[in-house]
Structure 1
Amino acid sequence: MTLALPTPVLWTLAGVYALLGIATAIALSLANIHQDQDHRELKARIQSWWIIVTVFSGALLLNRTISILFFAILSFLALREYLSLIPTRLSDRRVILWAYLAIGLQYFWVHIGWYGMFLIFIPVYMFLFLPMRMVLIGETTGFLNAIGTINWGLMLTVYALSHLSYLLMVPTATNPSAGGTGLLVYLVLLTEINDIAQYCWGKLLGRHKVVPKVSPGKTVEGLLGGMTVTTGIAVVLAPWLTPFSPLHALCLGLLLSLMGFIGDVTVSALKRDLKLKDSGTLLPGHGGILDRIDSLTYTAPLFFHFTVYFYVGGQWL
């Protein structure tokens, strides 16, 4: 099925590309003006953003199946990166194989629109099946740590992220102006803007640490600045991309900015426990996949269920 992107979505994506063009021009100007300073990380970040936005928008422009496949691949890469960081036992490999197979099934439920199975497959059936499979192997040393590690990784990188793709299945009647794609773009845009805004405000005004033992770079000023910017943009874009009332858009702006922060520091706690700065090197200037999607692991499910509760109602039940 081809996704003829609604006009509001196309204009929003065009706006994102325009902002990237402005950011690129600013970075080049800074490099020319301040030649004594190292701007390589800034350039790498912007270059990675060009790639991320191009791949994301390309997946949306093709068709719904390709879009769902894109998120399945994203989950696969995120789970693989996660498991590459976490110490696992040799005997866990057969259990991990089942975790990878669960990715295909989870996104298959999305593809066929089986809402009930989408909701419970990983948190119920895989949660019960993986420990059973591990028990049959017979290795009891480190059992609790191993199964907890795999189950949490599956929830974080597959279940949470799969809510992004199910937004594409939202009935058109729910959001006549921009459809499910508009909701998806709205969510991703606000989450990523929040990350950028919190980073910028923290660099400019940051004085007071929020969680110094987990993420020393996070400040109260950065958090509040990011929440203000994100909430403002949420209210402005809501009539364009969503069916949300001004009050709901305001609430979502506050919720997404706060939950994005929590998702970020939760993955930061994981990396600090493992004594790592970044989760990988796939995205220059950003780190790994987990470094880029950490906020979405919290914002995606919350945004999805907020939308379903207030706007979709019982249409999927």
Structure 2
Amino acid sequence: MTAQEKLIAVFGGVVGLLALATIVGRLLRRRGESAVVDNLVARVNAWWAMVAVLAVCFGLGPLANLVVFALISFFALREFITLTPTRPGDHLPLAVAFYVLVPLQYWLIWDQWYGLFAIFIPVYAFLALPALAVFAGDTTDFLERTTKIQWGVMITVYCISHAPALLMLKLRGYDGQGPLLLLYLLLVVQLSDVMQYVFGKLFGRHKLAPVVSPSKTVEGLVGGGLAAIAVGASLWWITPFSPLESAAMSALIVVCGALGGLALSAVKRSLGAKDWGRMIEGHGGMMDRMDSVCYAAPVFFHMTRWFYSG
């Protein structure tokens, strides 16, 4: 089976699952409205739109994927900065972050310049952003302001960019199949989020982190995580992994995604916000959908590169 045939097969399965979820949602609504059912229906409707966008991107090729993820990083950074108070002295580093760092990071992926892609933001941008802010002469809360901008760029640009960077990987016996690896990551991490929500609503009894994220439960994490791992293991045929290795990689994605969700929920709580934004109906803001990807993508990318590169 060719890479294109595998993509079509996986997308066909996703569309089938969404169709089933849509039918179930409508049946549940007929039995009576509830906040949980409304939330589920809104999530399914949003997923139809997101899957359609992904399908178009995969159909158009790697450049389309990079452009879409660059836009995701741009809007995610905007949400982060919107919730994080800034001062006029931050305007120059913010302009550089939005209009230089975002396009340059994704250009490095397109150019397949791994050596610079891997260190450009953690080293050069990390040092440059506070240096640029110095010229405004505003030292009020300088450390706090600088740290927020650095953290925002790291999470929304550097970490998220590792997802489409999977397209640049050259793996043993896996040439030209980077889109499948990207699809694998997105399916496992997002399915884990959805199944944790479902298992948490059905069986949740013990809060995982009640102060940080009251809706997350231990039962949701275990049940949803195991379900996502099972699906990830069953998708080994679109990856360079064996079934057992695929299960291990899926477990890594699930754990990292859960940690990312909790860490960024803590950031939201510290800022007094429930959601990062309202960009995606039923899902909150862009960062509400990408919080798990922020942690899972870089770890998955480097683990795959270390162990499977040619």
Q: Does 1:283 align with 2:261?
A: no
Distance 1:20 1:277 in 2: 27
Residues 295-310 of structure 1: pairs in structure 2 closer than 5 A: 295-310=292-307
In structure 2, the partner of 1:228 is 226
**1:25-67 CA distance string (max 9 Å, x none):** 1111111232x54543332221111111111121111022111
2: CA distance between counterparts of 1:136 and 1:244? 50
Contact 2:171 2:309 in 1 (8 A): no
1:311 aligns with 2:308: yes
Secondary structure in structure 2 of the residue aligned to 1:278: coil
Structure 1 contact 209–217 (Cα < 8 Å) conserved: yes
| 4+ aligned runs moved over 3 Å, structure 1 | 36-40
Shift of 1:213: 1.3
- Distance in 2 of aligned mates of 1:167 and 1:57: 17
After TM superposition, give the deviation of residue 278 of structure 1 in Å: 0.9
State the Cα deviation string for residues 240-278 of structure 1 (Å, max 9, x = none): 210112332222122111111111111111111111111
| Unpaired stretches in structure 2, ≥5 consecutive residues | none
1:263 maps to: 260
Counterpart of 1:208, as a letter, is H
TM-score normalized by structure 2?
Answer: 0.95
Secondary structure, aligned partner of 1:213: coil
Alignment of 1:11-160 (within 5 A): 11-34=9-32, 36-37=33-34, 39-100=37-98, 101-160=100-159
Going from structure 1 to structure 2, the CA distance change for 1:272 and 1:185 (only over 3 Å counts) comes to same
Whole-angstrom distance in 2 between the partners of 1:146 and 1:18:
46
Deviation at 1:206, TM superposition (A): 0.7
Identity of aligned residues (%): 42
Distance in structure 2 (CA, Å) of the matches to 1:86 and 1:160: 19
Corresponding position of 2:167: 168
**Inter-CA distance 86–118: structure 2 relative to 1 (3 Å threshold):** same
> Is this contact kept in 1: 2:257–2:295, CA < 8 A?
yes
CA distance in 2, matches of 1:40, 1:220: 23
Residue deviations 1:1-26 (CA, integer Å, cap 9, x gap):
xxx95211211011111111111111
Q: Give the CA deviation at 1:131.
A: 1.1
CA displacement at 1:172 relative to structure 2: 6.5
Question: CA shift at 1:173, angstroms?
Answer: 4.7
- For residue 218 of structure 1, give the secondary structure of its aligned residue in structure 2: strand
Residue 182 of structure 1 aligns with an amino acid whose one-letter code is L
Counterpart of 1:196? 194
Task: Note the alpha carbon deviations across 1:71-128, whole angstroms, 9 max, x for none.
Answer: 1111001101111111111211111001112000000101111111100110000001
| Partner Cα distance (2:177, 2:86) in 1 | 42
Pairs aligned (count): 307
Which among 161, 184, 187 is matched to residue 185 of structure 2?
A: 187
Report SS of the residue matched to 1:141. coil
Indicate the SS of the match to 1:199: helix
The whole-number CA distance in structure 2 between the counterparts of 1:21 and 1:247 is 30
SS in 1 for 2:211: coil
- Matched AA of 1:77: F
Structure 1 gaps of 5+ residues are: none
One-letter amino acid matched to 1:270? V
| SS at 2:206 equivalent | coil
